[in-house]
Structure 1
């Protein structure tokens, strides 16, 4: 018993005198009033093309359903996208960037088609070249006017938050091809 007490005291003594190595990293706390928040409005069109030889959206996974779903975007389907962003709804309109990410067909009720989207909208020309914002939101596609959440950004859209109003400009129910009009409101630094 006495040996155990001596051992315990020796361990505590060793731990008490062990050198402590740590680093101090300087950081500056910025009060909210020091940086000016900016407001930016963007208007563009996204071309989500599932058909043809060079689609901009492809199904990468789907659920094994017991009933046949003939929709181009059946429930449980996951799509990877690299959609062009243009200044107008025409496919020949000037390209200003691209939207890359994923969307999931998340509604079992085909009359209320809904997707959940994670997409990064990057700009490759103009004032916002090299900047992007990220969208992560539920998108009730069958609603005429819908709103989705902006949750971040980089470049000139650093720390972006806001929303996008989406309208369907064109939709082909057979192929799933769509052209969507985006009106975006961003708050950023």
Structure 2
């Protein structure tokens, strides 16, 4: 347990300290706003910019070319209905649309762990790394609880790099589709971001 806590601490520090550079994004799937009266932004912090980004996360946990792999599990994980103690690392593509063939925007990299013994609840530690568009070279860091069977899950944005330095806000995750046979899940992410 101490090793798992140490591993999670190191990964969290690495994610928060990751740095990159800047810029070019397809504008037809990005809602940008510098207004202070958006319903998802209840406060006005002066000179901060506000942006809403929407994209799709593709997670392949099956045996054929997985983007998510199990790196640890507890002694009772296999008998647990929630897979309590399961820890996965992932490097998932994020795209403009729900089809994997749509414009690749970057990667979502991190870990998720089953940390709830009663419901399917995950601890998500991840970076969205943008490799295309206006935010190329920038990252957003997410750390929060993902109760995967809820229609909408909200997680906080802890920070970012590049154009998203000092970022804060939240993301809303909505499951778009699940193929249990191939272990392929598509999730829509809406990111509501304050940044300078």
**TM superposition score category, shorter chain reference:** 0.7 to 0.9
Deviation track 1:97-138 (CA, whole Å, cap 9, x = no partner) reads 0011111011222xx311001100010011000001100001
How many residue pairs match? The answer is 151
Contact kept, 8 Å, 2:140 with 2:159, in 1: the verdict is: yes
Evaluate the alpha carbon distance shift between residue 67 and residue 94 of structure 1 in structure 2; reply closer, same or farther with a 3 A threshold: closer
Matches of 2:90 and 2:77, distance apart in 1: 27
Give 1:75's aligned residue. Answer: 84
Give 2:93's aligned residue. Answer: 84
Give 1:18's aligned residue. Answer: none
* TM-score for the superposition, normalised by structure 2: 0.72
2:71 maps to which of 40, 57, 60? 60
Q: Does 1:122 align with 2:133?
A: no
Larger radius of gyration: 1
Per the TM alignment, residue 74 of structure 1 is displaced from its structure 2 partner at its CA by: 1.8
Matches of 2:142 and 2:78, distance apart in 1: 32
Give 1:27's aligned residue. Answer: none
1:45 maps to which of 31, 53, 56? 56
SS in 1 for 2:51: strand
Per the TM alignment, residue 53 of structure 1 is displaced from its structure 2 partner at its CA by: 2.5
Per the TM alignment, residue 187 of structure 1 is displaced from its structure 2 partner at its CA by: 0.4
Q: Does 1:138 align with 2:149?
A: no
Per the TM alignment, residue 90 of structure 1 is displaced from its structure 2 partner at its CA by: 1.1
Per the TM alignment, residue 66 of structure 1 is displaced from its structure 2 partner at its CA by: 7.8
Give 2:169's aligned residue. Answer: 162
The structure 1 segments of at least 4 consecutive aligned residues displaced by more than 6 Å after TM superposition are: none
Evaluate the alpha carbon distance shift between residue 52 and residue 46 of structure 1 in structure 2; reply closer, same or farther with a 3 A threshold: same
Per the TM alignment, residue 37 of structure 1 is displaced from its structure 2 partner at its CA by: 1.0
Deviation track 1:124-182 (CA, whole Å, cap 9, x = no partner) reads 01100000110000111110111111001000000110001110001134554210000
SS in 2 for 1:96: strand
Matches of 1:154 and 1:137, distance apart in 2: 19
Evaluate the alpha carbon distance shift between residue 131 and residue 66 of structure 1 in structure 2; reply closer, same or farther with a 3 A threshold: closer
Give 2:192's aligned residue. Answer: 185
* TM-score for the superposition, normalised by structure 1: 0.75
Q: Does 1:171 align with 2:178?
A: yes
Give 2:28's aligned residue. Answer: none
Give 1:28's aligned residue. Answer: none
Give the root-mean-square deviation of aligned CA atoms: 1.8
Matches of 1:103 and 1:121, distance apart in 2: 14
